[in-house]
Amino acid sequence: MQIEQLRVSISEQRMIAYRNGHPVKDYPISTALAGPGEQKNSGCTPRGEHYIRARIGHGLPLYAVLRGRRWTGEICTPELYRQQPERDWILTRILWLSGCELGHNRLGNVDTFQRYIYIHGTPEVERLGQPVSHGCIRMDNHELIELFNQVTAGTRVLIRE
């Protein structure tokens, strides 16, 4: 059964998946260290109504490293992570978001899609529940695969403070 909506709470650092209007799964996440905001180059997590515009990474291995939405061929191991702890790791899958609200999170200097805001996997699972990302929504890699298999392009995503 498909998930029909995801609701992200920046203040609670949680994302809840809904099916038939009922919550079915609650995920710990990590949003932006810089807090909420819509401006381009702000490093903030955008608020408001969004939808999944693209699903990227189907069939890739767990902990596959993505850069520019393409697999680098690397698998993020603890050793690789220790070698490059400052890297903005995008792992396993990408759910690329697009805003629905003109002037708020769509088009111009507030366009979520053009800002490359994703839901993606992270090697820093111990930091889930804390705002530490560069604007994206980070998730546990195993839970991301589970979610990826239950959403489609077009699934609604509401991001609120």
Strands (E) across the chain are located at 5-9, 14-19, 22-28, 48-56, 64-67, 70-75, 91-99, 118-121, 137-139, 156-160
Decide: helix, strand or coil at residue 93: strand
Residue 1 banded pLDDT, cuts 50, 70, 90: confident
pLDDT at residue 89 is higher than 80: yes
Q: What angle do CA 126, 132, 136 make, to 5 degrees?
A: 110
pLDDT at residue 128 is higher than 80: yes
Residue 24 banded pLDDT, cuts 50, 70, 90: very high
Check if the beta carbon of residue 132 is closer than 8 Å to that of residue 33: yes
Q: Tell me which CATH code domain 5-160 carries.
A: 2.40.440.10
